[in-house]
Structure 1
């Protein structure tokens, strides 16, 4: 996928935040899927019927569907990968320092003071 220069600048600026967001979404998605099911005691004919092993949570399921359908996790991962792959092509020391500091969340003004 190709991005416009302004989009790339924004992705570099938001890199650290995108990494945290991606990791949080993936972690939450995995934790939600690993939840242990809780069952209530049933009496009479209901006690002999098969039971589900999970708690029904329509809000969680809707949110997961939206995240997957909307592609937020995938889009965030693509942005992170784009910056990671392109940053390996940088060879000048000043540019390497700039991209490293920028992706760690430092402002351009702060980086300018460091590099004079």
Structure 2
């Protein structure tokens, strides 16, 4: 996984918003979805193996994270390629390549929007 950029990161900077509050809100909404779907909140001794459920969710999480990494790399690559083409227009007719970059960027943004 050489392109996953598994590296140490700098300490976080203070910005706007509260991610904890957003996650708590998401959890509250998820609880309501579960009650609506199953008629009860998640409870112990419900006939399911919680470890198996959690493991399957963790596997899903891993592939979703990897998908996001690949999509970010693809998007960054397309942007850098477009920027390079714009900086060196005299070397060749860059317009077809730039159009292809735009198509790739548009396809990635459409895919992202559809997945959210």
TM above 0.5: no
Please identify the structure whose Cα radius of gyration is greater: 1
Shorter-chain TM-score tier: 0.3 to 0.5
Greater relative contact order, per chain length (Cα 8 Å cut-off, separation 6+) = 1
